[in-house]
Amino acid sequence: MSHTPRKRFGQNFLRDAEVVHRIAMTVHPRPDDHLVEIGPGEGVMTEALLPLSGRYDAIEIDRDLTAELRRRFSSRPGFYLHEADALRFNFKSLLGEGKIRVVGNLPYNISTPLMFHLFAQVGMVEDMHFMLQNEVVDRLCAEPSSPHYGRLGIMARYFARAEKLFEVFPESFYPPPRVVSAIVRLVPHEVPPVSADPVTLGKVVTTAFSQRRKTLRNALGSLFDVMELEAVGIDPKARAETLSLEEYAALARCLDEKSGKGCSAPRDF
């Protein structure tokens, strides 16, 4: 397939057969699985995964690519092509009898908002396997007090369990990106691991990391006073990157309770 990669779509096409095979073995589709591929591009992963699955929906925004994908795969049983922007796509429209499994080599410029778009619909998702920038995967999987720990990892952990699987180097793509990539597996929780409203949680985490070099007393000063931080067991002199998801959840509950009750002591998780 001859296609000039487009920068505005962040296109770097995977062309390494060994990496394609390794990803296919990692995803390991079952005959009754419903796979959804985001950004099939030149169709190398489609070719590997389609024969192994029951239903296969591919979402591609580039019209030139969809024309070729349609020519190659439209006659295959179970294949459906959607010419659409994945950031605006209603994944619930694909839901049948079971959950979907999502795969994709995500453009670096939309990877984070696209993941959060999917997190908003995780109830219908069995798992997700994505090719992302290696640094983004490290952020997804980071533990408190580690260099990559921040808003992305905390919020992702609320919705799903993240596991870094393996790295993929620039020479596996055309054109070669300037960074190393990695495959990550995200498995949504049946029930969130902490009790907190995700919108409030996101507000607290975003505020804390907007001034991550400051102590929480200063970074969260617009939301809590020192007594409120201490009431939920938070050291006002600590910094944003030291708090666990459970501690951020306690702060989120506190913020929701400030309508009149004040902040309560930490609950058991």
Per-domain residue ranges of the chain: 7-188, 198-257
Nearest to 114 by CA among 100, 131, 98: 131
- Superfamily in which the 198-257 domain is placed by CATH: rRNA adenine dimethylase, C-terminal domain (1.10.8.100)
d(CA 100, CA 56): 10
Architecture category of domain 7-188 in CATH: 3-Layer(aba) Sandwich (3.40)
Residuewise pLDDT in 10s, the chain (269 residues): 555 655 555 578 899 999 999 999 999 999 999 999 999 999 999 999 999 999 999 999 999 999 999 999 999 999 999 999 999 999 999 988 799 999 999 988 889 999 999 998 888 999 999 999 999 999 999 999 999 999 999 999 999 999 999 999 999 999 899 999 999 999 999 999 999 999 999 999 999 999 888 999 999 999 999 999 999 999 999 999 999 999 999 999 999 998 555 565 444 32
